[in-house]
Structures are given as C-alpha cells and as structure tokens.
Amino acid sequence: METARTIYLGNQRTQALHVRSGVTITTDAPVDNQGKGEYFSPTDLVAAALASCMLTIIGQAAIAHGFSIDRTEAVITKIMLSNPRRIGEVIIEFKFPDIIYSDKQKKIIELAARNCPVALSLHPDLKQGITFNFKNDPLP
C-alpha cells in the first residue's frame, strides 16, 4: 500500500498526504533558498523526523523497561551546507522531564536514540549532534 502522495502547489510549495490517516503536511522553500518560509521546508522535515524517530524509539524502549519519558522535548537545529546544498548537521538537544533516571535507563535511552531507523538511514556524512539533558544530572 502506498505511504503518501505529494502534489506541487506552485510557488515552491508542496502538500503531502499521508494516505492511511488523511493528514496533510504543507512544505515551503526556506527564505534562504528563495522561498517564503511559511511552513516547514523539506529539509526541516528531515531534521524533525530524526528527532521524532528518536523519541519514538526511546519511548518504546522506556515502555519495555518500565519507565517513562513522557514530556521529553527535543530542540532541533539544522545546519545547511552548500556546493551541493544539503543538510550538513542536525543538532538535537533532548530535555528530559524532572525524573531521576538510573544509569542503566540513561544507557537504554542513548542506545535507542542512536539506533532509530531514521538515524540509521541518513548518510554517514550528515553529522548527528545529540545531547541528552537529564534534570537530575549534576552541573558541569
């Protein structure tokens, strides 16, 4: 079964339809590439998909091991390169809720994040700068 359908709307804008759910996502070219920047750009979606995939896989691991990551936030920064224009780095800072995680749970979280399908699908030249900030960690 098909996954999605995307249509070009004009003016560097597209709309993707998720076939199963009927949900749509509109994209726009970014302002630094002749667009309006009124919606996610396709490269923004790649960066956001990486963080969402990591959170999903961490969440699955947390459920399997009997702990919660509910309300964990990912702050995402995408860095573009040129010649050719591409994503050079995605920086993700995970901010975990005010829960005390054991060292074992922290290792489960990090292993799950680094082995999500999107992370493993991206080209190895694309840097993935991942930071895990746990509230109970001592300050440096």
At 9-56, the pLDDT tens digits run 999 999 999 999 999 999 999 999 999 999 999 999 999 999 999 999
Say if residue 68 is in the same domain as residue 100: yes
Collapsed DSSP state (helix, strand, coil) of residue 126: coil
pLDDT in tens, 70-110: 999 999 999 999 999 999 999 999 999 999 999 999 999 99
The answer to whether 131 touches 92, Cβ cutoff 8 Å, is: yes
Q: Identify whether residues 27 and 86 lie together within a single domain.
A: no
CATH of the domain at 124: 3.30.300.20
Query: What is the domain count for the chain?
Result: 2
CA–CA dist 135, 139 (Å, integer): 10
List Cβ neighbours of 60 (8 Å cut-off, separation of 6 or more). 112
The answer to whether residues 46 and 106 belong to one domain is yes
Is the same domain home to 36 and 47?
A: no
Range of the domain at 8: 1-40
Assign 135 a pLDDT band (cuts: 50, 70, 90): confident
Same domain, 23 and 70: no
Please report the pLDDT score of residue 136 as a whole number. Answer: 67
Q: Is there a single domain that holds both residue 110 and residue 136?
A: yes
